[in-house]
Structure 1
Amino acid sequence: MRRRLFIFFFVALTALTGCMRRELEYGNASIFLRLNIRLNVEVNGQFVDLPEPEMMRVMFFDPDTYELITESYLPAGGGRVSLPPGRYKFIGYNFDTEATLLRNDRNYYSIEAYTNEVSQALKTSTLNAIRYAKSATSSKKTDTNGDSEDEEDSAWELALRKVQENPVIYEPDHLFVSHQDIEVFNVDGVQTIEAYAETIIETWKISVRIKNEQYMASARALLTGQIASNFIGLPKEEGKTDTDVTLMFDMTAGTDDEDNDVVVGQFNTFGKNPSVESRLWLTIIIKTVGGDTVEWHRDITDEFFTDEAIEDQTIEIVEEIIIDEPQPGNTGNGGFQPGVDDWNEENIPIDI
């Protein structure tokens, strides 16, 4: 009997020492994430409705380590997500952009929206066009202006160096971002969480008056003093980087409010570089219907910071770009001159 009691107490003691206390665990909770996306942006004093995103990527991060825990893909209005109860840092953004890309997305504070640089060939051809514009302008000048010419030459050199040294990027697509701290509870039924998303991209409009716009076939612009990216885990202004880049975008012919002919472009940007040393040089390269190239160049920093420009995100330049009339019979091909050689017959032996 004593032997049996000894064995019983020995087994009980072993079982007690082999156990350790664990927190009570719950299964995943079901939440409905309702996404409210602000689709309108203000340009030139008017609100422009942007298309609704096709898909949203929603990401949940550890609030202590900021590392990604899980992610899902939902319609623009939101949907159901299954998560363990607990606290999370949440980021959601539209997953259907072509130009705007994301990198370093495994950490809440390192996830960064950016766009690709233009090809080296395109950048080189653009630099050559700017150099050509400088040499063509200089050849028409006399030495009567003295110091003012030296100042203008220095401005050209500074702008050329900016484009040469800094990345030239494509304009970004609008990226609708939502980020906030959330808590998932272990409750019966479905917990609803509201999230609000708005674009982190600015849309601006620039117009420059032009003479003989009917001879313009196409136009492309370069704008220095822009920033390269945005860390979307931070508020929009705090997330802006300070990497200085040049933005490339297309322009078209149009008219302004006073019915003047203009070359106009509406472009997207992550924002202006906040550095006081960062100037905004605008270079417009126009291809004419006669196949010629016309370049125009201007420092628009002062115009960029007027109260009217900031309020409407619109810049209007009254200085006129002049396109010379093409010579008779030289109407060209709209700036595009394709050519196809005759087919040559080739006899190629085939081993069977």
Structure 2
Amino acid sequence: MGKKVILYSLLLMLQALAGCKHKDLYMGHDSSSTLILQVNWHLEWNIEYLIDWETEWNPEWIMDWSKVTPPEPEGVRLVTETREEGYRQIFNLPSGGGRVTLQPGVYTALLHNNDTEYIVFETEDLVSTLTATTRSRSRSPYSENNPAESTVNPPDYLFSSYSEEFHIRELEEWEDGEEERIIEIDVAMHPVVFSYIIRCEFEDGKEYINEARGALSGMAGTVNLSNRRTLDDVVTVLYEDAEVSDYGVEAVVRSFGLCNFDPVPTDEHPNGHYYTPDGVENPGNLLQNGRPRADEQTRNILTLEVALKSGQTKTFEVDVTDRMREQPRGGVLLIKGLTVTPEEGEGNHSGGFEVGVNDWGNSEEVELPL
């Protein structure tokens, strides 16, 4: 569901954001050209891979889709770099547009939204290496009980578009009567953060739940913004905003998706594909920030913690690896058959989770029905 907004007077950027790798843009010696970018925000919360989310979803289920679908961003950031000197410029613009002036030359450019809170941007030498991660975070008692896992906040919604090369050339003279040259370019802004709808259905004991939260392990910790590929560092995404409903617990978890996945469609892989990183040297099987690397043994474990009226906490753990590999970029996880017994849940405690509580109560592994 794309929505177009026009960024007026961006003297610069690219056509390759519209699909080409190279195109000549022209400027006069003394007059500024005006580049009008028509930015198409692709407000998609998932990318279909092996299964369609609608096959997992009952249309009778009620969902607040504003929690799932990304809103239109509030601002954009343009990062340009000259190909020869490597001179970099950064422009922050409102989503409605702004004017940017570039000298004639050959450029590489990256565009992404700049209205994020938890995103951390990192780069090496080139714009093409710019990556996004999300902020690390610990949560008691989960982090204490899982010390080997790198835990993070869910990333903010993030979009990107990239031009490998574009030229701005000087004009010797303007055409008769021409006072300004206007160039119009369509720019497709694609998401790199996606949503997973988690629906946990309880057979018994839902009435004992005061509050719920959880974690989703085995997720990608980093994404390259130029090619939108995820890297192979593994994190666990913590989520807090789970909602207790009439059937159990519902949550929406944002993530970069699974590791080592390229979402860009090709003739051979129209829905994207998993890939094997080449030439990566990481002694000790570690990538950035000391995070473990994804391999064939990496599992996606959905953890659900429920605070009960008894004052205790019960934890469910579900291996959702097979279902996640079918939905590497957002989707639906349906968990059935959960229970809380009267012995576990009965009481008059009305509060939720308490910081520093180390007793999780019972832990139960649940088999995911496929």
TM-score, with normalisation over the residues of structure 2? 0.64
Asked if structure 2 preserves the Cα contact closer than 8 Å seen for 1:223 and 1:283, the reply is yes
Among 326, 336, 339, which residue is 1:318 paired with? 336
Matched, 1:232 2:225: yes
Asked if structure 1 preserves the Cα contact closer than 8 Å seen for 2:308 and 2:345, the reply is no
SS in 1 for 2:71: coil
Among 153, 157, 164, which residue is 1:170 paired with? 153
CA apart distance, 1:114: 0.8
One-letter amino acid matched to 2:153: Y
Distance in 1, matches of 2:109 and 2:132, equals 16
Given the superposition, is the C-alpha separation of residues 323 and 283 from structure 1 closer, same or farther in structure 2, using an over 3 Å criterion?
farther
Aligned partner of 1:195 in structure 2 is: 187
CA apart distance, 1:313: 1.0
CA apart distance, 1:165: 1.4
Paired residues for 1:282-321 under 5 Å: 282-306=302-326, 313-321=331-339
CA apart distance, 1:247: 1.1
Among 54, 65, 90, which residue is 2:74 paired with? 54
Aligned partner of 2:237 in structure 1 is: 247
Distance in 1, matches of 2:95 and 2:352, equals 42
- Post-superposition Cα deviations, 1:166-191, rounded to whole Å, max 9, x if no partner, equal 31111101101111133324354233
CA apart distance, 1:64: 4.7
- Post-superposition Cα deviations, 1:2-56, rounded to whole Å, max 9, x if no partner, equal xxxxxxxxxxxxxxxxxxxxxxx94684332413222243494398642221110
Given the superposition, is the C-alpha separation of residues 82 and 311 from structure 1 closer, same or farther in structure 2, using an over 3 Å criterion?
closer
Among 307, 331, 349, which residue is 1:332 paired with? 349
Distance in 1, matches of 2:305 and 2:213, equals 5
Paired residues for 1:178-189 under 5 Å: 178-180=161-163, 181-186=165-170, 188-189=180-181
Asked if structure 1 preserves the Cα contact closer than 8 Å seen for 2:40 and 2:187, the reply is yes
Aligned partner of 2:42 in structure 1 is: 38
Among 204, 212, 216, which residue is 2:205 paired with? 212
One-letter amino acid matched to 2:129: S
Given the superposition, is the C-alpha separation of residues 56 and 311 from structure 1 closer, same or farther in structure 2, using an over 3 Å criterion?
closer
Asked if structure 1 preserves the Cα contact closer than 8 Å seen for 2:143 and 2:151, the reply is no
Distance in 1, matches of 2:231 and 2:105, equals 32
Given the superposition, is the C-alpha separation of residues 207 and 42 from structure 1 closer, same or farther in structure 2, using an over 3 Å criterion?
same
CA apart distance, 1:292: 1.2
Matched, 1:109 2:128: yes
Distance in 1, matches of 2:341 and 2:103, equals 66
Matched, 1:266 2:270: no
Given the superposition, is the C-alpha separation of residues 68 and 178 from structure 1 closer, same or farther in structure 2, using an over 3 Å criterion?
farther
Aligned partner of 2:266 in structure 1 is: none
One-letter amino acid matched to 1:109: S
CA apart distance, 1:195: 2.0
SS in 1 for 2:190: strand
Asked if structure 2 preserves the Cα contact closer than 8 Å seen for 1:212 and 1:325, the reply is no
TM-score, with normalisation over the residues of structure 1? 0.67
Matched, 1:276 2:260: no
Distance in 2, matches of 1:265 and 1:55, equals 27
Distance in 1, matches of 2:162 and 2:354, equals 50
Asked if structure 2 preserves the Cα contact closer than 8 Å seen for 1:26 and 1:85, the reply is no
One-letter amino acid matched to 1:317: I
Distance in 2, matches of 1:304 and 1:321, equals 24
Asked if structure 2 preserves the Cα contact closer than 8 Å seen for 1:104 and 1:112, the reply is yes
One-letter amino acid matched to 2:351: G
One-letter amino acid matched to 2:158: L
RMSD: 3.0
Given the superposition, is the C-alpha separation of residues 310 and 226 from structure 1 closer, same or farther in structure 2, using an over 3 Å criterion?
closer
Asked if structure 2 preserves the Cα contact closer than 8 Å seen for 1:292 and 1:335, the reply is no
Q: Give the number of aligned pairs.
A: 266
One-letter amino acid matched to 1:95: N
One-letter amino acid matched to 1:61: E
Asked if structure 2 preserves the Cα contact closer than 8 Å seen for 1:217 and 1:335, the reply is yes
- Post-superposition Cα deviations, 1:119-166, rounded to whole Å, max 9, x if no partner, equal 3xx2x52145x5xxxxxxxxxxxxxxxxxxxxxxxxxxxxxxxx4213
- Post-superposition Cα deviations, 1:41-97, rounded to whole Å, max 9, x if no partner, equal 3494398642221110111112356x4521212222433321112221111111111
Asked if structure 2 preserves the Cα contact closer than 8 Å seen for 1:283 and 1:295, the reply is yes
